[in-house]
Amino acid sequence: MPHVISQACCNDASCVFACPVYCIHPSPDEPDFATTEMLYIDPDACVDCGACVRACPVDAIYPDTALPAVQLPFIEINKSYYPKRAEGVKLPPTSKLAPILPAAELHQRGKYPLTVAIVGSGPAAMYAADELLTQPGVLVNMFEKLPTPYGLVRAGVAPDHQHTKLVTRLFDEISWRRGFSFFLNVEIGKHLSHADLLEHHHAVLYASGALHDRRLEIDGMDLPGTGTATELVGWYNGHPDFVDVPVDLSHERVVIVGNGNVALDVARILTCNPDKLADTDIADHALAVLRESRVQEVVIVARRGPIDSAFTLPELVGLTQAVDVVLDAEDHARVRNDLATVRDNFTRQKLEILAKLGDASAPIVKPRIRFAYGLTPARVLGESRPTAMEFTVTGTEEVRVIDAGLVLTSIGYHGTPIADLPFDDDAGVVPNEGGRVVDPTTGQRVPGAYVSGWIKRGTNGFIGTNKSDSLMTIQTLAADYNAGLLREPSTGPRAVARMVHARQPDVIDAAGWKAIDKAEIARGDSQDRPRVKFTRVPDMLDEVTDYSDVPLLQNLLGALRRS
């Protein structure tokens, strides 16, 4: 009974290290780990021990006989990663053990224990904290501008992908370890500066992600009713910055330019039965608008052909299981042509799924998604709001027009410059070597400054990819600390909290976040939902004002732990 990794895979490789026979690949030491869409279990080498099931932070692994029906395609997807070999031959040999990525080793020096400020609280930040706290005595202060932590896991993962959000259980465990402190609702650049942080810490690690969309510079993209997929993701996930985004779903068609996983998420939510979403943690305001939606078709448009589709195979499998997806006849022809030339196995599997999609000429009987290929955006048509979008057939001057009342773009993310640090605007990252920030004009390291996650490497990889990425940054930081390259803080650990409270009286600590979290879950319990989110900062602060709903003992223990 081999085990199978399903769509919810987060790629953090915990299962790789748990497996006693090294049958899960690619592992972090293998070349394709950084770009793989998911991890795969070798069905011929699996010994059915279940160690991977226990290690997986998102409950993505099942015995093949217990796989949910919608995840059955992943039996073949897992198997197809491995080359065919003679019967009885296992690859790799079961005597080989998974590689061990060494934890950073620290040699205590100076008056104060190693104290690190981490800016951001998403996966890259939490995995970095996890690596630091493997060493005794280390102190980690995490700063987040929102009153709630966990970044895109909370505000970016689609509400109907609740399994993926289970990684927050690991993050909760990390945040309550000795030596860790939350400073939520604190914005670096507003309440505190980089210099403020560096004065009180040996190092500052920025894991602030890349939250801004790349913009499509064509006429009409400034009309009301145009926007980005990321704004819509924030809107339906209840991110405070996007609560008031005006979303008009009174037209029957939506166009999304770009066909990555985010575009698929948005299209799926816009075409999903609202009754199914009512069991998730989708924001109440979004659910209310979706219940009144008149959208019957979401068209996902790409400049290039099917063989170059940006979405991953797992997401395509999940999409086709959830909603009707169709292609025009000419795009079916493109798929057939691409199938005749494709060499990569996983691209072939994507094309084979596309080849089986329905015909777009069929009558629309319920909301559906249509892929459209080979169209280059030209302009958005309409006076006060969009009525259609004009394209040219890529490589020609032939014009195509698609009627639409809402136009969204999903063409990638771009990092935001960080005050007092160098920035590569073309790549959208902070220049660095192994996570150590480097000034490109001088080639010299920026003392005490480090990066991890998207702001370090660009917008690639998945939630769990940040685990190995953060490990590499922490190893660099530890080497610098051991070599005496990090300046000693000018004050002791207690001074950090005093400084923050003086600058931002509404700072929220771990107990405050626990109060918000508990209140959201309680609100959800009454509706049989995972949680009902607070979407406005004042409402969150109201929950924090009185910790009476958090057990007194828990508050005392938290205070002692952070002292």
**CATH number, domain at 397?**
3.50.50.60
Q: Which of 62, 80, 98 is the last residue of a domain?
A: 80
> 376 and 286 in one domain?
yes
Residue 4 pLDDT level (bands cut at 50, 70, 90): very high
308 assigned to some structural domain: yes
- pLDDT band of residue 560 (cuts 50, 70, 90) is very low
Q: Would you place residue 552 in the very low, low, confident or very high pLDDT band (cuts 50, 70, 90)?
A: very low
Closest CA to 465 of 93, 228, 123: 123
CATH code: domain of residue 76: 3.30.70.20
Same domain, 302 and 371: yes
Domain co-membership, 34 together with 142: no
Rounded to two decimals, the pTM is 0.93
94: in domain:
no
SS3 category, 19? coil
Average pLDDT rounded to a whole number, residues 29-49:
91
Average pLDDT over residues 165-184: 96
Indicate if 243 and 148 belong to the same structural domain.
no
Residue 174 in any domain: the answer is yes
Is there a domain that residue 103 lies in? no
The conformational region for residue 212 under phi > 0 = left, psi -120 to 50 = alpha, else beta, is beta
Of 349, 377, 412, the domain-final residue: 412
- pLDDT exceeds 90 at position 374: yes
Phi, psi of 7 (to 5 degrees): -55, -30
Radius of gyration of the chain (CA): 24
> Could you tell me which of 161, 299, 171 has the C-alpha nearest to residue 237?
161
Q: How many domains does the chain have?
A: 4
Q: Does residue 248 form part of some domain?
A: yes
Of residues 498 and 493, more confidence is placed in: 498
On whether both 368 and 398 belong to a single domain, the answer is yes
105-155 pLDDT tens trace: 888 778 899 999 999 999 999 999 999 999 999 999 999 999 999 999 999
Residue 555 has what pLDDT? 44
pLDDT at 551: 44
Per DSSP, the residues of 292-315 read T----EEEEE-SS-GGG--S-HHH
Within a domain: residue 480? yes
Contacts by 189-193, CB closer than 8 A, 24 or more apart: 189/418, 189/419, 190/145, 191/500, 191/503, 191/504, 192/143, 192/499, 192/500, 192/503, 192/504, 193/419, 193/420
Among the listed ranges 221-225, 252-256, 402-406, 458-462, which one has the minimum average pLDDT value? 458-462
Residue 534's region, left for phi above 0, alpha for psi from -120 to 50, else beta, is beta
Q: What is the pLDDT of residue 122?
A: 96
Same domain, 161 and 237: no
In a domain, 119, yes or no: yes
pLDDT digits (tens, 9 = 90+) for 191-230: 999 999 999 999 999 998 877 788 899 999 999 999 999 9
Kindly state whether residues 76 and 205 are assigned to the same domain: no
Please state, for a pLDDT cut of 70, what percent of the chain lies above it: 94
Q: Kind of pairing, strands 253-257 and 406-409?
A: parallel
CA–CA separation, 83 and 92 (whole Å): 11
Q: Is the pLDDT of residue 190 over 50?
A: yes
Residues 393 and 531 in one domain: no
Domain range enclosing 274: 217-412
Assess whether 399 and 260 both reside in one domain. Answer: yes
At residue 87, does pLDDT exceed 80?
A: no
Mean pLDDT of the chain: 92
- pLDDT band (50, 70, 90) for residue 523: very high
Where is pLDDT greater, at 97 or 510?
A: 510
Domain termination residue (choose one: 357, 384, 412)? 412
Residue 547 is predicted with a pLDDT of 54
Q: How confident is the model at residue 550 (pLDDT cuts 50, 70, 90)?
A: very low
Question: Do 235 and 346 belong together in one domain?
Answer: yes
State whether 73 and 123 are in the same domain.
Answer: no
Among the ranges given (88-102, 171-185, 327-341, 447-461), the one the predictor scored with the smallest mean pLDDT: 88-102
CATH number for the domain spanning 206: value is: 3.40.50.720
| Cis status of the peptide bond prior to 447, with omega within 30 of 0 | no
Q: Are 321 and 468 contained in the same domain?
A: no
Candidates 10, 86, 16; CA nearest to 46 is 16
Taking the C-alpha atoms of residue 452 and residue 455, their distance in angstroms, rounded to an integer, is 6
| 474 has a pLDDT exceeding 60 | yes
Q: Is 108 a member of any domain?
A: no
